[in-house]
Structures are given as C-alpha cells and as structure tokens.
Structure 1
Amino acid sequence: MDFETTGLWPEKHDRAVELAVVHSDPDGTITGRWETIINPGRDLGRQDIHGVTAREVLSAPPFGGIASDLIDLLSGRVIVAHNASFDIRFLDGELNRLGYWPGAPYARLCTMRAARTMLDGGCRLVDCCAAFDIELSGAHRASVDAYATAQLLGAFIASSRRSDWDDLLLSAPALVPYEGQRMPWLAREGVAPYSPGFLERIIDRIPDVSETHEQAEYLALMERCLLDRYLSEHEKNALVDLAGRYGIGRSTVEKLHHDYFLALVRLAWADGIVTEAERTDIQAVGELLEIAPDVVDYTLADDSPWRAAGAEQLSQTVSGFALQSGDEIVLTGEMTRPRSDWEARLRELGYVPKPAVTKKVSLVVAADPDSLSGKARKARDYGIPIVGEEWLISTLEG
C-alpha cells in the first residue's frame, strides 16, 4: 500500500491525494492492483512531487467514497508499505475522520525496516529496488511505489526462509466492514514522470547512517522535507514531533544530521568533481541541518579529504583482484550461460551467489561491465568491482 499526500501531518490537517493497493500471495506472487486519486477537500500540497492536479481531483472520490472497498482489500491481509509508519498514520488519519475502527490492530510489515536487516545498506525504496534490479520508473506515484514495494517484498521472501513469514501471515485479522458509499476508483492517466533534481538523485544513493529503525524513519521524513531545500514551520514541527515520539534526543539528532551531511558530501565527490549546482545544493542542506559553515566550506574545498577519497574511488580497478572462499558474488544481465548454472558453479567453488547488492558483496559479474542496471549502480556506489562474464570464465574456469 502507498499513499501520496498533501504533507506530513495526518493528525493535523494533511490528507491523502492518491492511494494504491497491490495484492500478493504468501510466496510474493502479485495477484491484483488497484489505484485511485482522492479529493482531499483542501489544497494539494507538494504538487511538484506527487503531480496530482486540482483538475484531476475535481472528478475524484473523497476518501469516504473508497473506504468500504479499501477495507475489503485490506481485511485478512498483512499491510506492507515502505516506511509503513507513514502510510499507516495516513490510513488511520483518514479512517478516524470517518469514525471507523477496524476492530483489531493491523498486521503490518515495513519493507524499509526489513531492508536494514536484509540488505545491510541504504533502505530507501529506490535504493532497495536497485539492489534487486527492480524497476522504479515514475517514483512518487502511488501505483508505482506500491508495485515496486510488492516486488521488493517478493524478493525478500524469495531470499529468506518461508517459515520466517508464517507467523506474520497468521496474525492478519479480519477487519470490521465499513458501511459507506462505494464510489468508483479513479486512476491517474498520462501523468508526466517526476524528474528529480541533483539533491534527490544523490539522496537516493546515500548509505544508511541510522542505527535504529526509529532513526531511519526520522531520516526518511527529513529527506522528504529537504527535497525543495526549504524547511517550513510545519515540516520543522513534524520532525520535532517524530523525534519526540521516538525518544530521539537532541545530541542524537545532531549526530544524525552530521553523519548524513558527510555521507552526502562523500557521494558528491565520488566522481572527483563537485559542480556549482551540486555545491549550492550541499550548502543549502548544510544550512538546513545546522552544520557549522566552516565545516561545510572545509568539505567542499579543493584540498578537502573527501575530494581525495572520491578521486581514489574513481581510480579503483579490478587488476590484481582475488576472490576468497566464502565471498559473496552477484550476477546481473543475460549471460551466455544460464544464471542458475553459474550460481551452481560458484557454490561448487566455495563462493556465495547473492540476489542483491549489499556492502558485503565482493564482486558483481555483469553481462556488460558498463551496465546501467540497478545492481551495477549500487556496486559503483559501494566501490565494489564489476567484471564481465569473460573475466569470470578465465578466472574460475581457466
């Protein structure tokens, strides 16, 4: 499930403007998809992100008009969302306005929290999808994000024991039906794809600097607020409220801001160059996160150690690279041998084939070493060598 919203505070005045639901079988197979835009009865908030227009919502149902069908779709199922606390808050906020109580707590799963354990790396949706080569084109549209989350869930299930999910499936309650008007759902058509700027593109690649699930959710909310390089009073209050709710103290917030800023700088220098546009964005983020100006200037200086580290990473090659028994290897692209054959051969030789790119992976083997696949991009972000199938053949079979 995924909501697009007018803002961050369903408990106050923010409302849902789009909703998508995807059904999956217990093995992760996708079996159904539904989506609708929603008339929130107020202004639409960040239209530059979600792309819903006032003209569209004039014909859209209010939340009360789709609530009966939505409860039917959720009843007896585990609700899965990426940063589930955000989407569940909006679900609760909208249903509370209707005076509805489901009769039992929802069974829920947060794929962002699961990613912190299963991927050991960035936990944003785009980051997780890249690790598994799941396409995410047109993010910030509810149907796109919900479908990608469902595919991510399937990848998690496929790469773990089925028994790990059984208790969660058995906990899903039947919900009390909502007896309201059933209005047709209205899907968006012909929406121009969202075009992220430098800051959002680089945010998608920043390694996870949080130490707890709660800190990860704080950073996820913070990133939503940073996209336009401006923190409104509503956004500041939402961040303060979330930090207070999770017991994240001032010193921890300051450390999160500091670590996040340095990770942003490190990625900006990864190609050895920080352009003027990138520099402007980084300075803006530094100011919003209350990073000392001299620290910001030092990280962007020509003699900055982060510049030297970026140049060193840029010059890395696989010459002299040697694999060791137990190393994790990821395959991507269509190779001359079936992937299952290569995976079986790698296991015979003592290596561990993996479906996703994490920081623990030692090597990525691509049908095309210049591949633009999500897995290849993640490997470059993490400084993991990428080789072609020919290198694998000559090294392992030569």
Structure 2
Amino acid sequence: MTSDPILELYKHQFAIISLETTGISPQHGDHLIELAIQTVNWNGELLDSYETLIHPGIDVEGFQIHGITDAMVKNAPSISEIVPDILSRLNGKTLVAHDLDFALRFLEPALNGNIQKLKGICTLKLFNLVSPDSGLRRLEQLCTYYDIDISLRHSAKSDSLATAKLFSILKNLFSQQFELETFMEGFLHLTKIEDCPRERNLFIKRKEAKNIATIQKTKLYDLLNRLTSNAGDSVPVRQYLNVLDRALADRILEEKEIISLVDLAKDYKLSKDQVMEIHEEYLRKLIRIYLLDEILTNVEMDDLNLVSELLCILPKELDLLIKYERTKIPITTPGVQKQLKTLAGKSVCFSGHLNCKINGNRIDRELAQQLVKERGLRVKRVVSKNVDYLITAHAEQFSGKGRKNRKAMEYHVNVIDERIFWEMIGVIVDDE
C-alpha cells in the first residue's frame, strides 16, 4: 500500500530562512549580522519563530541598507554560539529561502562543517518556473506582485515572514500547473543532522538591542559602571528610593539628579548590583500600584517603559517583573490579615524543593522568598536558634536527613508543610 502524497506533505515542515550581512561575499570578509527562521507546515501555519542579531566580530557596514549598527550587535551572540539554534530548527525540515544560493554562501561556512551540503527550495527559482516571463527577481518586487505585506525591508524577520507567504503562494501555483508528485520529487529535501544539538534559544532582537544601546549611552549607566563591585554592608533603600521619587516626579533625570543618586551610592559604598536591586524594587512597586485594578493600560505601560529605561532596566527585565507581580495574590481575607499581624517579624527557612504551584507555575525559591518578605516575615538561608519555622514540601515524611533538618530537630524548630504554610500567609496555590 503506497502512502498518500498529500498526507505526507501535510506532515512536512519547512524552515524559511532570511539573513542580513555586512556585504555580499563571505570569501572577502563579509559576515552574518542577523538571521531569522520561520517554521511552517504545508498549509503555511507558523509553528515556530526565531530571530536574532549576530555579533560579526568586525565593524558593521551597510547601515543605510539594513539599519543595524555596531551598538546594536555589541551584546548579540556570535554565530558559533547560535549554531545549535540553527541546526535544531533545520533538522528534519526542508530549507526555504529567497535567493537560496546567496543564503547558503554565508550559512554553510557558519555551521562549521555540521552539514556537508545543504539543499532546499529557492523561491526565486520556484517563481521562475511558475511565471517564467515576468522578469521579476527581488523579494519586494514579488511581494508587490502578489500583494504580500513586507513591513520592514532588509529585516531578517520581516523578510522571512514575507518569504513564507510567498512560498505558500508559489507552491500552490506550481501544484496547479504540475503534478504534486513532481513537487515532492524535485523540491522536498529533508535536512538530516546526525547528533543534532538541542536548541539554546540565544537571541537578541532588534528592538531589545536598540533599547540596550540607548541605555548604555546614558549618563546614569556610565556612572553606575564606575561603582565598586564589592557590596556595601549598609543599604539605605528608603533614602535612595526617596531621592528617586523626587528625581522621577517629572519623568526626567537631569544630570544633577543623576549625580546626586550616584553620590549617595558612593557614600554608602553600594555596588552596581545593589543599586540595580533598588531600581528594580522601585519599578516593582510602581507595577504593583498600576495592577491594583488588575489591568495595565497603554498609558501605564508607556510609563513603565519610560521609567525602566531611565533606571537602566532592560525591557526583558521589566517583562519578568510584570509577570511576577501578576502571579501574586492580594490578601483580602480578614482572618488571614489578622493572622499575619501575629506572624509579622517571624523567620522562616525553606528546606528542599518546593512542589506547590501558582497558576500552573511551580513556586521557585526566589518567588517563595519574595512572597514571604512581602507578608512581613523574614527569610533565613540556614537553620539557627532564631528560625521560627522550617518549611518543607513533605512535612509528614520529615526526617533528620540533611543539615537543615538536623539543625531543626536540634533547635526544636516548628516544621510546617509547604501547602499549609502558604494557606497560613494567604497565598492561594493550585489544587493538587
């Protein structure tokens, strides 16, 4: 019984690749500076999207064409670092690119011999088969011809998405003019990679790179980098936050305000990491205020983006802070509020891995400590006579195994099951 070619095609996946380079010839020293891979099926449905800038190791040329600067690729991964991400997305799929020969000239050397010879589908050649007399060549010309939106020309992501739409149109037109088996025999080239590495998901996108470059040009960023790397003993969080409140009231950081902040950090011998922790706490409290109605409006998001930029906090860090704040459950039960007053100042220590989840996400140690601190309790890293409660995922199976457990038994510390503890302090966790 022979397999149905249509069913085989429906199972097939295509890796649509587009790239930006410093020039036209890798043999003459040109390098990749941006790459995007869109994974689609026969129906054109997008299954996976990957894009990143690439540090070329040389000065970037051709800004007027691709809009990429040296500052934007400064923090980007090198091509060798993203080879696993490329290979994992090519493996088991047919490669597709517009002007495939040009793409392969840069791609094959970059893969360090992991693939001897890449084959795939060139949408330019496929177009010439479907419409041999048109004379069109460039991607933007074909997109105009087929009414395909290409929002940002010479952007790897935009070009790859446009190429995916173009490919979907062309392969349908080809299948109408020729036998479907002809397409399968002539164009399907599964890329097979032995011992294919797992993807690492290293990337820096254009928008993030521009934001990083903007932050790194600021006076505050420059001065923060000059602070000591040794953490100070005294951290004047309240004093620093008060200065921040005054400085950011108009959402403008003037030079004298920046100098005041840095001078305060120097006076207390704060490290850059300590200052950034205070900046994140300021931003976290602002997020918390905006989330009182559980909605972040466009105006509120614009303000958060502005404040995070002024405080040298990257967009991805802001996203993490927002995600974290959304997971927190406000305490509204009067009984819990009363109980928390009696627990205020008590100290807890966590033992072993935690099992409870909030909204499907397991509570990690960092989140657990934050939830405890915000409810007025203190967190201890080690068990001592001053620890009031030891929190463990399986209190009923508690034994003297492990240093913390032995110390808890020695000092007669109260051992509480994790789920019961969260209920005590008003954190609603998922049902088991």
Shorter-chain TM-score: what band?
Answer: 0.3 to 0.5
TM-score, with normalisation over the residues of structure 1?
0.44
Query: Which structure has the larger Rg over C-alpha atoms?
Result: 2
Greater relative contact order structure (CA < 8 Å, 6+ sep): 1
Structure 2-normalised TM-score? 0.41
